[in-house]
Amino acid sequence: MKKLLILLFLPGFVFGQITPYCDSIEINLLSIDTFSNPRTIDFEVIPNYYTNYNFPYCGLFLLDNNGDTLAYQPLLSGNVYGITQGLTETRTLEATSNFSYFFSGVLQIVNDWHSGGPTYLACSFPINFTPTGVNNISQKDKRIYKLLDIFGRETKEINQLLFYIYDDGTVEKRITIE
């Protein structure tokens, strides 16, 4: 019974040794590509520690609060060797299903994902995709700045295609027929 108890606590001690390195990893969302098939999410991974430790053959997983996998790093990725000090890299995850881009969950680093051996969770980071603000654009009275014909010449003629350029930077294409 004592041997079984030691084996149950051993993984907790092993994972506890990696925690200081997890605190030293900066992860930034670079892009979400909804037009590619499969849809992809790019993260920049910046290790900010200066020891020789690396996260061997690790992969990234994005999970929602229910523990469902939303995106993962495919096995045939170009950067499969792991995260190590001094190496900033972009990790591309493939979305597994349609999901709302405003959600909360976790981004996990799973060691040995790309080695084909047994895998284990190395780090877990809370992720919260929420809008940070809404810019209200005030609608003011706009005034015509220039009136151009199709060749870019200023004109006052009618019965032809004209471009109305306003002082707020907007452009309208109009044909006025009299």
Residue 11 pLDDT greater than 50, yes or no: no
The reply to whether 165 and 97 lie within a common domain is: no
Residue 139 is assigned to a structural domain of this protein:
no
Q: Distances in Å between the alpha carbon of 113 and those of 26, 39, 41, 110?
A: 20, 21, 18, 6
Low-confidence winner among 40-44, 47-51, 104-108, 112-116 (lowest mean pLDDT)? 112-116
101 to each of 35, 75, 126, how far by Cα in Å?
14, 24, 15
Same domain, 76 and 155: no
Matching residue, tokens 């084909």: 116
What does each C-alpha distance from 104 to 15, 63, 64, 66 come to in angstroms? 24, 9, 6, 10
Q: How many CB atoms lie within 10 A of CB 65?
A: 11
Distances 81 to 50, 118, 119 between C-alpha atoms, Å: 18, 15, 14
Q: In terms of residue numbers, what domain contains 151?
A: 144-175
In this prediction, residue 20 carries a pLDDT of 66
> Tell me, what CATH number does 62's domain have?
2.60.40.2550
Beta-bridge partner residues of 43: 29, 91
> Is 153 found in the same domain as 73?
no
Q: What pLDDT shows up at residue 58?
A: 85
Looking at the structure of the chain, the number of domains it has is 2
Could you tell me the pTM of the whole model?
Answer: 0.60
In a domain, 39, yes or no: yes
Do 151 and 110 fall within a single domain? Answer: no
Residues 69-92 have pLDDT tens digits of 888 888 777 777 788 888 888 988
Question: Is the domain of 113 the same as that of 86?
Answer: yes
**In this structure, is residue 44 part of a structural domain?**
yes
Distance (Å, whole) CA 175 – CA 152: 15
Q: Give the model confidence (pLDDT) of 89-134 as tens digits.
A: 898 889 887 766 677 889 888 888 878 788 888 889 888 877 666 6
